[in-house]
Amino acid sequence: MTDIVNQKTRSRMMAGISGKDTKPELALRRALHARGFRFRLHSKAVHGRPDLVLPKYRAVVFVHGCFWHRHEGCRYATTPSTRQDFWQAKFEANVARDKAVRGRLLEDGWRVATVWECALRKTDQIAASVDRLSAWLRSEEYQIEIGDTEAQLP
């Protein structure tokens, strides 16, 4: 299927998709900061450039979009009906990169949290997610994934 817009327009549209400072990320940052947590943003000094780095806790936090990072079983992790081979390869590469980054961070002694976009859609979900994340930060656990169980497919 051919694109319905020209190459220059498509390029401009794709350039507008931001990888940093997304709404879910900003919501999580605001809530964590309000609870007294201090962090660095997108640190180049840490492998994988995590969204949040909390050096005091030797922890990093990734805020993953369910679509791009393929939140397993989530209703927001849909696959476009056009160019399925392209999208499948893209998603597989994203998941493989995420797994490699997580492994490297754990090897380097970092604790790794993944907060899925679906867990940050509503105010009450944000509060519950931050409760779990702050409890994890104060614990000794190395990994945690926080997602919305209601967003899971039946």
CA distance 45 to 59: 13
CATH code for 54-154? 3.40.960.10
Rounded to 5 degrees, φ, ψ at 55 are -60, -35
Closest to 150 in 3D by CA, of 130, 127, 122 = 122
Is-contact 37 137, C-beta < 8 A?
yes
Q: Which helix (H) or strand (E) holds 112?
A: strand 111-116
pLDDT tens across 36-71, in order? 999 999 999 999 999 999 999 999 999 999 998 999
Instruction: Supply the pTM of this predicted model.
Output: 0.86
Q: Does the pLDDT at position 139 exceed 60? A: yes
pLDDT tens profile 99-126: 999 999 999 999 999 999 999 999 889 9
